[in-house]
Amino acid sequence: MIITKTPLRLEFLGGSTDIKNFYQRSPGRVLNMAIDASIYIIIHPRSDEFLRLVYEDMEYVDHVKNVSHSRTRAALGLFKITNGLDIISTSSVSARGSGLGASSSFTVGLVHALGALKKKNLSPLDLAELAAHIEIDILKEPIGKQDQYAAAFGGLNAYTFNKTGSVRVAPVAMSHKKLSEFMKHVIVFGTGKGHSASGILKDQHKQFRANFPKLKEMAAQVPLAVHCFETGDWKGFGEILSREWEIKKTLSRGITNKRIEAMREGARVAGAWGSRMSGAGGGGFLIVIASPNKHAAIRHALRGYPTFPVMPAQSGSSIIFSE
């Protein structure tokens, strides 16, 4: 039996600049933070020739070609596993459509577990690139590479996506004390509504030519935000978060809606410095940055929405049990 634990992430800035048709023309830049909410993958060899998959649904099939779950089918094919395995996934949060990068965390965790089963010592870079290969090259999903890297590397990082396809991972230099200080300024609210990142990203792709200057401006916010972290300027960071969201929500009609904008306005009136949705938008979790002495007022203003406590995850995908 092998069990992997793989973190989810909060996306702060730069989402959609990690997509190939953008970074081949201009460097993509993303700032995100892995969090302590995780996807767990359990795999166990069977004594028969069947595959049993347990996730939101359950599958019991005799060969990998009959697996419905596309990510699992592609990962098993990559490792040349046809049958004889139980694969169980579970999450510490309800992750589907959350904007927390859960789909890619699943893929990274599964690749990690299958690699261990095959006695392969996969690095974080290996995990990120193999997961991205499955999702982008094999499954042709209209997504970028930030989620796979966040899941594999963990931590708070600024990523640069280069024309060649290589990715520079730059951990944001912060002491534990300063990171703890930052987290005191963060509140995350659930919107009560999921979203389809794939649908939103497909729509953005159709409008790529018009969106290109906007995406360049979004990427340009990342170095400014890193400077805020280095100097402890949380107000400035919140303002950048809101500024980038105002650009992002013009990329596609599905990114924002009345509920999201009402939540953001309620938080602003109650004293928030800035806010934005994590991920592609449309639903999921709202990140709010505010002085701690404004948190009670903001929670009251958004009292119809649950708060989602988060802490940074310093480590990426890890094997927590192997027998």
Q: What are phi and psi of 48, to 5 degrees?
A: -120, -170
Higher confidence at residue 140 or residue 283? 140
Q: What's the pLDDT score for residue 282?
A: 76
| Topology (CATH level 3) of domain 176-301 | Alpha-Beta Plaits (3.30.70)
* Percent of all residues in the chain with a pLDDT value above 90, rounded to a whole number: 86
DSSP secondary structure, 43-111, as one string: EEE-SSS-EEEESSSEEEESSGGG---HHHHHHHHHTT--SSEEEEEEESS--TTSSS-HHHHHHHHHH
Residues of the chain with CATH 3.30.230.10: 2-173+313-322
**Does the domain at residues 2-173+313-322 carry the CATH identifier 3.40.50.720?**
no
Give the DSSP per-residue string, 214-250: HHHHHHHHHHHHHHHHHHT-HHHHHHHHHHHHHHHTT
Per-residue CA distances from 137 to 30, 80, 112, 144, 297 (Å)? 21, 17, 18, 11, 46
Beta strands 85-91; 51-54: pairing state: parallel
pLDDT surpasses 70 at 148: yes
The pTM of this model reads 0.94
pLDDT score recorded for residue 97: 63
CA distance 302 to 284: 15
Residue 195 has pLDDT above 60, yes or no: no
Give CA–CA dist 11/101, Å, rounded: 9
Nearest to 305 by CA among 292, 319, 286: 286
Instruction: Name the 3-class secondary structure at 132.
Output: helix
Q: Which residues contact 19 (CB under 8 A, 6 or more apart)?
A: 28, 142, 143, 144, 201, 205
Predicted local distance difference test score (pLDDT) of residue 205: 67
Give pLDDT tens digits for 55-73: 989 999 999 999 999 999 9
Stretch 251-271: mean pLDDT, rounded? 93
Tokens of 265: 């306005």
Q: Please give the pLDDT value at position 78.
A: 97
- At 31-49, the pLDDT tens digits run 999 999 999 999 999 999 9
Which two tokens mark 78?
């990559």
User: Each residue of 87-108: pLDDT tens digit?
Assistant: 999 997 765 667 899 999 999 9
- Tell me the mean pLDDT in the region 123-152: 97
Angstrom distance (rounded) from CA 283 to CA 252: 14
Structure tokens at 204: 């953005």
* Angle made by CA atoms 297, 218, 33, in degrees to the nearest 5: 60
Closest CA to 149 of 311, 2, 6, 320: 6
- Cα separation, 160 vs 245, in Å, equals 19
Q: For the chain, where do the domains classified as CATH 3.30.70.890 start and end?
A: 176-301
Report the chain's mean pLDDT, rounded to a whole number.
93
Flag whether pLDDT at 225 surpasses 90: yes
Asked if 284 contacts 277 with a C-beta cutoff of 8 angstroms, the reply is yes
pLDDT level of residue 307 (50, 70, 90 thresholds): very high
